Amino acid sequence: MTTLPRVSSDILWHHASVTRHRRELLNGHRGTILWFTGFSGAGKSTLAHAVEEVLHQSGYRTFVLDGDNVRHGLCNDLGFSPENRIENIRRVGEVAKLFMEAGIIVLTAFISPFRVERERVRNLVEQGDFIEIYCDSPIEICESRDVKGLYKKARAGQIAEFTGISSPYEAPENPELTVNTSTTDLNTSVQQVINELKSKGIIKND
């Protein structure tokens, strides 16, 4: 387990006059974190961006944090060892929390293979602010898609610590929503996520 450095006693939290509640009133909806998790190739990014498109067209303020995109900038100094994966998710969780406190619906698409790290992000925020969405697809289906050729490289030993091949994936035990992305079409999957948001009062019912 990675031990995080202690915050210096010289650093104090500054309480802003513009609160999360005021930002949400301005936006017209609650901020929340939608955390899409699953194997590489399970459709996390595809589903997250499709959900964002629907929300955006309905006037909601959104942003997608995508695993590949984040590793081009915020986390471009990290590899794929278990320790680096943990730090990657820690950073993403903190950024997602900031977006949420800005009153934005932030959608994150990360393999995030370890339960304890996903729970750590959940525990950063209040109950109900973190919605875990498990993109459930057998690894055989994910590998058959393999649009990036990553599984092929992993099986050839060209990629170390690859989730599902040489590194474990711990599926969620009690996600808020499970979407079977191997058998459910994209439009139906999007509607399942939208319905979950409506049931929790994040967005309005039609």
pLDDT tens, position by position, 127-161: 999 999 999 999 999 999 887 888 889 898 898 88
Can you give the pLDDT at residue 205?
83
When the pLDDT of each residue in the chain is averaged and rounded to a whole number, the result is 90
What's the rounded Cα separation, in Å, for the pair 48 and 153? 26
| Residues above pLDDT 70, as percent of the chain | 94
Helix (H, G, I), strand (E, B) or coil at 61: coil
Residue 6 and residue 27 in contact, taking contact as beta carbons nearer than 8 Å: no
Can you give the pLDDT at residue 15?
77
Encode pLDDT of 157-187 as tens digits.
898 888 889 889 999 999 999 999 999 999 9
Domains of the chain are 20-198 (3.40.50.300)
Rounded to two decimals, the pTM is 0.89
Can you give the pLDDT at residue 1?
43
Which has more confidence, 129 or 71?
Answer: 129
Report CA torsion sign: 177, 88, 124, 164. positive
Q: Of 94, 92, 48, whose CA–CA distance to 71 is shortest?
A: 92
Q: What single-letter amino acid sits at 178?
A: T
Can you give the pLDDT at residue 7?
55
What's the rounded Cα separation, in Å, for the pair 106 and 52? 9
Q: Which residues are catalytic?
A: 112
Contacts of 138 (CB under 8 A, 6+ apart): 182
Q: How confident is the model at residue 70 (pLDDT cuts 50, 70, 90)?
A: confident
Encode pLDDT of 94-132 as tens digits.
999 999 999 999 999 999 999 999 999 999 999 999 999
Can you give the pLDDT at residue 128?
94
